[in-house]
């Protein structure tokens, strides 16, 4: 059974306050009773004990976005959350949401929820893994770039006999603004051995507020090189982007290979790479 989560937004002193309103989808009269979900105060630890439970339903595993950072550019990004749960009577359904704030009860300023029912694979009489699909949309769900950073993953599962379990902060997930390079070039090419190679490019990152990519300034970027035939990059030097994100540096040509700018990312922005192969003669 699925809890349908709807969000009511209002502006208070320039901030957006979101309230989770829970209403069950229509089901047959003999469906399990729907528990109160996603309204308890959050726990402070990762994989914390349930905030609310009835009976012996247990959530044993949660995988969200492949357990990787959720990187969102200026368009919608769809990802999946897999909730594995067990109960002696079997699992009826599950749900999940990502939320931003300090308390699901009183301090939520962003939420990513599913608008479709979960699909569950009942791989035994007592256990199932349910897939929940969520789409994060800049400008609406991610209405402001300030929402980038650490989010919380809330999950619940309900059993065939009406037992349930829910946890407001089962784990955390980093939701980051996508970074990228534009205009990357290592030149001239081809180049004679011993001559100077000039490497340029601009580091940018997505704005969820304005739905555009802007230059990302004062960020450390590594210039790396991979010799032709090798599979390993070595860092040659680290430079900082200008206030507009622009980067420029020089190196001496020695052998054929690929040059790249590598940005490692940070707590609000994704990593990014740009490549250019240079033939040395």
Domain layout of the chain by residue ranges: 3-176, 179-278
Q: How far apart are alpha carbons 259 and 276 in whole angstroms?
A: 5
Predicted pLDDT of residue 10 = 26
pLDDT of residue 49: 56
Q: Which two tokens stand for residue 267?
A: 């707590």
Bridge partners for 70 per DSSP? 175
- Per CATH, 3-176 and 179-278 having the same topology is answered yes
Q: What per-residue confidence (pLDDT) applies to 105?
A: 83
Terminal Cα distance for the chain, rounded: 67
CATH number listed for the domain at residues 3-176: 2.60.40.2550
Say how far apart CA 267 and CA 56 lie, in whole Å. 37
The owner of tokens 């939320």 is 99
Residues 274, 183: contact at Cβ < 8 Å? no
Q: What's the average pLDDT block by block, 10 residues per block, for the chain (281 residues)?
A: 31 28 31 39 43 94 98 98 98 97 90 93 97 97 97 97 95 98 97 97 98 98 97 98 98 97 98 98 95
**CB neighbours of residue 56 within 10 Å:** 13
Q: Are 72 and 135 in contact (CB under 8 A)?
A: no
> pTM for this one?
0.82
Q: Please name the CATH architecture into which domain 179-278 falls.
A: Sandwich (2.60)
Burial of 115 (0-12, 13-18, 19+ CB in 10 A): exposed
Coil vs helix vs strand at 50: coil
* Peptide bond before residue 190 is cis, with ω within 30 degrees of 0: yes
3 state SS of 66: helix
């Amino acid at each position: 059974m699925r809890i349908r989560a709807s969000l009511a937004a209002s502006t208070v002193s320039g901030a957006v306050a979101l309230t989770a309103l829970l209403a069950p989808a229509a089901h047959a009269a003999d469906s399990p009773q729907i528990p109160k979900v996603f309204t308890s105060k959050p726990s402070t630890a990762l994989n914390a004990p349930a905030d609310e439970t009835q009976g012996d339903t247990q959530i044993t595993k949660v995988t969200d976005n492949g357990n990787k950072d959720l990187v969102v550019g200026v368009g919608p990004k769809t990802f999946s959350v897999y909730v594995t749960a067990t109960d002696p009577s079997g699992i009826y359904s599950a749900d999940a949401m990502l939320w931003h704030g300090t308390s699901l009860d009183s301090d939520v300023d962003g939420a990513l929820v599913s608008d479709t029912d979960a699909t569950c694979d009942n791989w035994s009489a007592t256990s199932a893994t349910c897939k929940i699909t969520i789409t994060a949309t800049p400008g609406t769900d991610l209405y402001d770039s300030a929402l980038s950073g650490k989010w919380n993953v809330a999950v619940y599962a309900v059993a065939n006999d009406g037992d349930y379990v829910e946890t407001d902060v089962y784990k955390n997930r980093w939701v980051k603004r996508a970074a990228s390079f534009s205009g990357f070039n290592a030149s001239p090419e081809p180049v004679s051995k011993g001559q100077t190679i000039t490497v340029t490019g601009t580091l940018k990152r997505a704005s969820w507020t304005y739905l555009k990519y802007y230059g990302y300034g004062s960020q450390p970027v590594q210039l790396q090189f991979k010799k032709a035939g090798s599979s390993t990059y070595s860092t040659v030097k680290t430079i900082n982007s200008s206030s507009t994100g622009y980067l420029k540096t020089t190196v001496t040509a020695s052998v054929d290979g690929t040059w790249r700018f590598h940005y490692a990312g940070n707590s609000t922005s994704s990593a990014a790479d740009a490549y250019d192969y240079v033939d040395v003669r």
